[in-house]
A and B are shown apart, each in its own frame.
Chain A
Amino acid sequence: MKTHKMLLWLLLVAVPNFAIAQEAITTENWLSSPGIIGTFVLVAIVMIIAVIILFIKLNGYIDTIKRRQIDKNKMAFDDELVAMEEEDIDAILEKRKAALKYKLKGDELSGENKAVDEKGLLQRVENDPANAYFDEKKKTSLSLETPEALKKIVIYYIAAAAVWLVLGTLIGQYLGMKFIWPEMDHQQWLGFGRLRPVHTNMVFWGWSSLAMIGLGYFVIARTSNNKIYNYKWAWYGWWLINATVFLGSICLMAGINNGGGEYREYIWPVMLMFAIALIITFVNFYKTVATRKISEIYISNWFILAALIWTIVLAIIGYLPFYQNGLGETVVQGYYMHQGVGMWFMTFTLGLVYYYLPSALNKPIYSYSLGVLAFWTQMLFYTMIGTHHFVFSPLPWWLQTVAIVFSAGMFIPVIAGTTNFLMTMKGSWNHITKSYVLPFFLVATIFYFVGSSQGSLQAFRFTNYVWHFTDFNVAHSHMTMYGIIAFFLWASIYAILPKLTGKEPSQVFVGAHFWLAFIGLFAYMMSLMMGGTYKGLSWIDGEPFIESVILMTPYWVWRAVGGSLMFLSHLVFAYNLYYMVTGYKNTSPSIKTKKVEEITV
């Protein structure tokens, strides 16, 4: 009865109120707007998770200190033994002799007597002895089964990605500083407008894409229980993508850009190389899956194959000229920029997570069906929401409405994915103390939920009103491309590379990477989210535009601070990577064939 009343109340009072509230937009109660409250909650989630991870890590640290104390006690005991008199020792040994000779009569718990465990000696009674060794894990050594050629491909893809990451974020950091010191340089090739797309495209196509494909090669071969169809093609792809980023960056700095639409600033002859690389990679992956040695296609391969085919279609649609005059270009731009993120980076990375997360924890994914649901809804909802970058613009209203409605629909794949990953992690939380692989996965999963939900909330009318065109968008894109994609990629890299090379980086340095990246990102996004909100409110209140520039200054400073930490973490990452792969071929075979569990996780 009570729930009925609640429902009725909701329908009669809350819903119309909500609808009316949408009409009367005011800045007075901006704090209580549903989109803003939602964002606060989401950010709080990230904060809480960070505190929990920190707590667990500290706990582990305290444990080691305790263990040291125990060791000390042991040493003290040894000293005591050495100092003992001979007679005392003899007496003790005599006692021990007697104890060893003592035999149970065999009827203590049975025979004539009733079976009673008076001293509580039995911990567990096992009725099914066949299952007695359930906890025993099958120990395998990947090194033996991974062909040298595949290892080399994975390592080279990831290494190239790391180079672009360091360079791309160095440029990003430089751009962030230009907000504070606009007169830093007077070089045409380093102008803000020219350099900005160099940064975005370099981390997109250089870092994320190369790392994804490299990690993908291992997943495809492994989950198909097969050899990669053609190793040579993998190298063609590697060269083509690196050439794309290299030439594209040179073009952009020389002032040759494709009209400034975000993420398609590379002119078509350059981007064509990337498209060819994708096609080669797709065919290579597809042939490998097609000749797989098991009947089922693992869910990772669904995501990875689809991501490739969707992105090939996307690149073609984004660059064909026939419908791109006037606002036709704007429609395609909204479609392209969002799908670039959603159908390429997000889809491919999810595919990687469906393999690397369960394999790092040595257990199956929580729900296969949930993965399938996430796959199809990802395709259905993500494809439709591009125009939410152009709410209130001169684009057709129906297109904007579709985008807003389907943005809300994005909750389905996001919640399906988040649940799946978290439930897979459930029961393995002790891995957090053992290594940084799980913390990377955990933070990325939380950001997957938080970043994507926040994106959906941003499509609401009031939130779009406040945040559109402000620095909040920059915060959002870093929360997703960095918080989700980069963290998932790092998790996967730290999970797989030690297994391939037999060299594990020092946990102190992996920890430094994790915390610098995380704290840096948090500072980065919080400052821009706050500054962006105040900027939007200032615009709504009709203050002169320059006021909104002045009020951003402290937030830009904090952004630069956060950005510096992020960049620093990438240097640490590059070092870790160098350590993991350098001279791996010379690593002694004994280490190479060490049991997996002993090497990592």
Chain B
Amino acid sequence: MLNFHKEHKNLVLTAGVVFIALSIVVAILPAFQMQETEPIPDDKPLTDNQREGLNVYVSENCMACHTQQVRNIEMDNIWGDRPSIPSDYFYSKKRLDVWRQSPSVLGSERTGPDLTNIGKRQPSEDWHLLHLYNPRAVVSESVMPSYPWLFEEVDSVSVREEDKVVSVPKEFFNKPGKKIIASEEALRLVDYLKSLQQTELPGGNVNDFIPALRKIQTEGMDGEKQAGSLDGAKLFSQTCAACHQETGKGVTGAFPSLVGSDIVTDENPEQLIRVVIQGYDARSDYGVMPPFGNQLTDAEIAAITTHERSSWGNDAPEVTEEDVKKIRELIESELNQ
């Protein structure tokens, strides 16, 4: 009956029908299933501005190098507090318009960092703008392309009130009487990037990463969180070095140096701890520092500040977890007054 060697009709029909059947099972049905998710209660829809930013993200094809998925394995823990779940993509993965489908933001290659939580990890708008203008201005070893076409070069005199001026260090832009201002597109893109934050699940995040290192396996996943075992240098390079650089020297004209800084090397660490927890916007010649109080634990802040106070020629006494805790309480009581 089914003589495939002689009956071309049956051959083609069988190959076609079986393939379609398998495709329905392995692609279409699961796809329909995955589509029926609901948003996490605290998750907010993208604003119009952020949606425009996502459009810039897609048309520049940032997905070629950046992923947006925290896998449930231990090494991805640095990219988010919990593994990504389908609901995380409820608002961002919708059909863009008639011509373009829902964006493939999950990505397949991590030439650059994962961006699931970039808004939390890097909340500073100034940093993002400078980084887009020239990534090497803030991360000297970066291989990311720069996006000068998202910025405009204007005469200093014609800068309007509402323009966002990007303070670019001299080595990267040195034309007297000219300023770099961010275009509407750049601002929207940064707005979108800042919106990329993992929403906490109701009832707290369940930490179900599959551990990778034997060290952590034997100590338990929380073992690393103990004070003392924290590596201040590593935490600094993960959290702070993006702006202040590994050398602590910062980027002149954008992010201040920590080397020999009065705040950093003061005998009393209170001001330094306050800056880390609350952020800092007292100097007009530098970008705004966002608060890190929610992102870092007391022990982590202690480790980082200790590292800052004892590196690059700085020589100030150690900061303990207790110190940080006291100041955090102090700040909270001030706010409640």
Contacts and interface: CB of A to CB of B under 8 A. Distances in A.
Contact of B23 (A196, A302, A383, A468): A383
B34 A383 contact: no
Given A324-B95, A325-B95, A379 B19 contact: yes
B173 interface: no
Interface in B200-232: 210, 212-214, 217
A583 B75 CA distance: 60
Given A186-B146, A326-B34, A260 B12 contact: no
B64 A193 contact: yes
A597 interface: no
Nearest to B70: A394
Contacts of A252: 61
Contact of A267 (B32, B100, B143): B100
Given A256-B59, A328-B34, A390-B106, A321 B95 contact: yes
B61 A260 contact: yes
Contacts of B313: none
Interface in A315-351: 317, 319, 321-333, 335-336, 343
Contacts of B84: 393-394
B6 A260 contact: no
B89 A326 contact: yes
B19 A309 contact: yes
A332 B30 CA distance: 9
A183 B148 CA distance: 11
A395 interface: yes
B108 A329 contact: no
A13 interface: no
Contact of B106 (A302, A313, A393, A474): A393
B60 A549 contact: no
B100 A257 contact: yes
Interface string A284-296: 0010011000011
Contacts of A55: none
Contact of A186 (B58, B73, B89, B149): B149
Interface in A201-246: none
Contacts of B148: 186
A329 B93 contact: yes
Contacts of A326: 34-35, 37, 86, 89-90, 93-94, 102
B63 interface: yes
B62 interface: yes
Interface stretch (A157-165, A535-543, A569-577): A535-543
Interface in B107-138: 108-111, 113, 135-136
Contact of A255 (B60, B113, B214): B60
Interface string B146-187: 111100000000000000000000000000000000000000
Contacts of B146: 182-183, 186
A52 B126 CA distance: 59
Contacts of B61: 193-194, 196-197, 252, 257, 260, 265
B104 interface: yes
B212 A465 contact: yes
A259 interface: yes
Interface in A389-409: 389-390, 392-396, 399, 402
Interface string A158-189: 00000000000000000000111011001010
Contacts of A465: 73, 75, 212
B106 A306 contact: no
B34 A335 contact: no
Assign chain A's interface to a size class. Answer: 35 or more
Contacts, number: 270
Given A260-B64, A310-B15, A332-B27, A327 B37 contact: yes
A545 interface: yes
Interface centre among A290, A323, A326, A328 (most CB of B within 10 A): A326
B31 A328 contact: yes
Contact of A286 (B4, B12, B104, B106): B12
A26 B74 CA distance: 11
Contacts of B212: 25-27, 465, 540
A260 B103 contact: yes
B234 A544 contact: yes
A456 interface: no
B104 A333 contact: yes
Contacts of B58: 257, 259-260
Nearest to A545: B113
A384 B22 contact: yes
Nearest to A185: B145
A328 B147 CA distance: 31
- Residue among B144, B145, B148, B241 having the largest count of chain A Cβ atoms under 10 Å: B145
Contacts of B104: 259-262, 329-330, 333
B237 interface: yes
Interface string A547-568: 0011000000000000000000
A190 B65 CA distance: 16
Interface residues of B, number: 86
B88 interface: yes
Contact of A379 (B15, B64, B93): B15
A546 interface: yes
B8 interface: yes
A544 B95 contact: no
Contact of A317 (B11, B27, B83, B102): B27
B101 A324 contact: yes
A268 interface: yes
Contact of B214 (A24, A196, A259, A327): A24
A395 B33 CA distance: 11
B69 interface: yes
Contacts of B105: 260
B162 to A, nearest CB: 24
A333 B148 CA distance: 32
A319 B76 CA distance: 31
B102 A324 contact: yes
A467 to B, nearest CB: 11
A383 B23 CA distance: 7
Contacts of A474: 109
A295 B214 contact: no
Contact of B69 (A387, A393, A550): A393
B49 interface: no
Nearest to A296: B5
A210 B179 CA distance: 50
A325 B35 CA distance: 6
Contacts of A395: 30, 34
A586 to B, nearest CB: 39
A41 interface: no
A290 B8 contact: yes
A302 B12 CA distance: 8
Contacts of A302: 4, 11, 15
B47 interface: no
B4 A399 contact: no
Given A317-B28, A392-B71, A196 B64 contact: yes
Contacts of B93: 325-327, 329-330
Interface in A366-387: 372, 379-380, 383-384, 386-387
A137 to B, nearest CB: 27
A468 B19 CA distance: 28
Given A260-B58, A393-B106, A544-B238, A182 B143 contact: yes
B11 A394 contact: no
Contacts of B237: 544, 546
A297 interface: yes
A473 interface: yes
8 contacts: A260-B61, A305-B8, A310-B15, A326-B102, A379-B19, A380-B18, A392-B71, A465-B212
Nearest 5 interchain pairs by C-beta: A193-B61, A255-B59, A392-B71, A469-B110, A261-B104
Given A257-B59, A306-B12, A343-B19, 16 more contacts: A182-B144, A186-B149, A193-B65, A193-B145, A258-B100, A262-B108, A267-B99, A309-B12, A313-B23, A323-B32, A333-B104, A333-B106, A394-B69, A465-B212, A469-B110, A540-B212
